[in-house]
Structure 1
Amino acid sequence: MLATYLIGLREGLEAGLIVGILVAYLGKLGRRDLLGRLWVGVGLAIAVSLGVGALLTWGPYALTFQAQEILGGVLSIIAVAMVTWMIFWMGNHGSSLSRELRGQVDAAVDRSRFAIVLLGALSVGREGVETALFVWANVAGGSEPMLATLGAVLGIATAIGISWGLSKGLVKFNLSVFFTWTGVFLIVVAAGVLAYGIGDLQEASVIPGWGAPAWSLTGIVQPGSVLDTVLGGIFNFTPEPTWAQVIGWVAYVAITLSLYLWMLQRRNRSAVAAATRPASVAPAAAAAPAAVVAPSTTEIRSTQ
């Protein structure tokens, strides 16, 4: 439940920030007449996301067992790829997110009023589809699907409340710290989803090695126990992993976490360099340090 709650919270906050920036900038341009079209696009994105979630939930039941396992394994790996891309994209583009979105709004207004609908749908739809796919992959590997689904819903609801509070100046929230540490947590969660997907492909005989565990921890983590439920629900932990699952988990965490920490270190060095550079050399860099990972509350409200 905690894993899906944080997934819903993080993705919901990203979507909320995007909508907040778009709404505020349209207000600054004096084009509130386009807000209705923007909300139509957001509504379409939500509908598509719910449709993807429903398809993932009920669609596979008509398939054979082997086909279900193959589909589950492939979708789990796709979910890991998407959430990994999201983590690194936010780390690299968070500081310029507001500027990029304002540029897209300007281009959309110049082209056509219906382009605003498309902009809203694409901007929010990406977050929604990522959420649906990753939550489904996490729920599919857990033992408490109802609690995991409830966690995602509560996370999204919390994100909506925080986003509204940020836009009104009622909430002060360090988005940089939040996105940084949830990125680390989601890398570990994604590793568990990857291991689960590998297990599905092994069970379908696509990858060899199913039924030959690398080790057994059932004496420590008894199947069906509270500890097994908690670890399985959050990290897709299994007490008897295969060697392919172990290798996949270790390789993913080692490579992805190393690259992520390197990216954070590089970003922090750039922020320090920008802050210590003489104002006459780079006043713009000093005013907007690269260490900001997401638009601040002030940035969102200043466009209103």
Structure 2
Amino acid sequence: MANILFVVWRESVEALLVIGILFAWLRNAGLNQGMKYLWGGVVAGLALAGALAGAMMALESVLPDGSIEYFQLAMVLIASGLIVQMVFWMRIHGRTLKKELEGEMSQAAAKANWWGLMVVVMLAVAREGSEAVVFLYGLGLGSGSVGQTILAIVLGLALAFLTFWLLQQGGKIFSWRLFFKITEIMLLFLAASMLINGVERMIGLDWIPGLVDPLWNTSMVLDDTSRFGGVVGALTGYRAQPALTMVLVYAAYWIAVVVALKRVSAKQNKPKPAPVAAQAASQSGR
């Protein structure tokens, strides 16, 4: 259940960040009349995420027995792709997230469009909540006992509030930049784990060949069926006896991710061209 705790923790902190930015903006601007719309948007966003969870469970319950495994496989692969997409989205928009949210809030406040403000909050919270729902389903939310699942969710939420409080203190040791850097790596490993889970299922369904199965056996070092090995496997995709196909997919995944991250970093660090007016002034000064 460590993967469920991690997902709930990470997604909750991100949602709290969005709510915190908007709350601070309203308070600093003296727009207390917008607070009820802020919290209304939070409730509406959570309701939308809950509706998505209910729809997924309802869909699973009406699917024929033979189709459930295919549906779960599809959700595992979708969740893996969404995690990677979320990491890249935060890498691109993380620096300007505060500015973008405050800009949308300013436009709504200038027009006294409090319902528009509520929609902004609702969509932001619904996005985080919906991502969490898809991720948790992909991880197999109902695979463990109900008690363990509830405990993991409660602990994840509690840890998220504690983390958010610590980050808001502006400490030098635990900063937002460090938080996102560490959790970004953990999320990419989790996405790799879900991808390998999907590949493993496809090999089991004879959709793709395993090629050499197993390629090696490291059970003596770390058995992925043990409690600790299971946690490592769930968070990283480790298998003690992997098929060659799984190893090739895992390697291809990390090569693609590293190359894409380097391209994003290079684009962000690329110096922006000076405005035309500034260039003209510089040339005339010469």
TM-score of the alignment, normalized to the shorter chain, above 0.5: yes
Listed one character per residue, the Cα deviations across residues 33-64 of structure 1 (whole Å, up to 9, x for unaligned) are 11111111111111222333344456424423
**Alignment partner of 1:41 is 2:41:** yes
Per-residue deviation, 1:152? 4.2
Q: Do the aligned partners of 1:8 and 1:152 also contact (CA within 8 Å) in 2?
A: yes
Two-structure CA RMSD over aligned residues (Å): 3.3
**Alignment partner of 1:115 is 2:116:** yes
TM-score using structure 2 length: 0.79
2: CA distance between counterparts of 1:40 and 1:227?
Answer: 42
Q: How does 1:77-92 map to 2 (within 5 A)?
A: 77-92=77-92
Structure 1 stretch 179-188 or stretch 207-216: which is displaced more? 207-216
Q: Percentage identity across aligned positions?
A: 24
Structure 1 stretch 212-221 or stretch 109-118: which is displaced more? 212-221
2: CA distance between counterparts of 1:179 and 1:254?
Answer: 21
1: CA distance between counterparts of 2:194 and 2:66?
Answer: 19
Matching residue of 1:183: 184
**Alignment partner of 1:234 is 2:196:** no
Q: Do the aligned partners of 1:11 and 1:131 also contact (CA within 8 Å) in 2?
A: yes
Per-residue deviation, 1:137? 1.4
Rg larger in 1 or in 2?
A: 2
Say if 1:130 and 1:26 are closer, same or farther in 2 by CA, change over 3 A.
same
Q: Do the aligned partners of 1:38 and 1:117 also contact (CA within 8 Å) in 2?
A: yes
1: CA distance between counterparts of 2:161 and 2:6?
Answer: 13
Matching residue of 2:69: 69
2: CA distance between counterparts of 1:3 and 1:266?
Answer: 32
2: CA distance between counterparts of 1:149 and 1:242?
Answer: 34
Q: How does 1:285-300 map to 2 (within 5 A)?
A: none
2: CA distance between counterparts of 1:211 and 1:142?
Answer: 29
Q: Do the aligned partners of 2:2 and 2:152 also contact (CA within 8 Å) in 1?
A: yes
Matching residue of 1:29: 29
Listed one character per residue, the Cα deviations across residues 124-150 of structure 1 (whole Å, up to 9, x for unaligned) are 111111112112212359777864663
Letter of the structure 2 residue corresponding to residue 245 of structure 1: M
Per-residue deviation, 1:266? 6.2
Listed one character per residue, the Cα deviations across residues 63-84 of structure 1 (whole Å, up to 9, x for unaligned) are 2343112111211121122111
Secondary structure of 1:126 counterpart: helix
Matching residue of 1:192: 193
2: CA distance between counterparts of 1:257 and 1:155?
Answer: 28
Listed one character per residue, the Cα deviations across residues 67-119 of structure 1 (whole Å, up to 9, x for unaligned) are 11211121112112211111111112111111100111122232732112211
Matching residue of 1:260: 261
Say if 1:66 and 1:140 are closer, same or farther in 2 by CA, change over 3 A.
farther
Q: Do the aligned partners of 1:77 and 1:194 also contact (CA within 8 Å) in 2?
A: yes
Secondary structure of 1:139 counterpart: coil
Structure 1 stretch 120-129 or stretch 2-11: which is displaced more? 2-11
1: CA distance between counterparts of 2:211 and 2:149?
Answer: 27
Matching residue of 1:52: 52
Q: How does 1:215-234 map to 2 (within 5 A)?
A: 215=215, 217=217, 219-220=219-220, 221-222=222-223, 224-234=225-235
TM-score using structure 1 length: 0.75
Q: How does 1:3-14 map to 2 (within 5 A)?
A: 3-14=3-14
2: CA distance between counterparts of 1:37 and 1:140?
Answer: 32
Q: How does 1:91-170 map to 2 (within 5 A)?
A: 91-109=91-109, 110=111, 112-139=113-140, 147=148, 150-164=151-165, 166=167, 169=169
Per-residue deviation, 1:122? 0.5
Q: Which runs of 5+ in 1 are unaligned?
A: 275-280, 282-304
Listed one character per residue, the Cα deviations across residues 189-236 of structure 1 (whole Å, up to 9, x for unaligned) are 11110111233344445x332697343537435464234322333234
Say if 1:170 and 1:91 are closer, same or farther in 2 by CA, change over 3 A.
closer
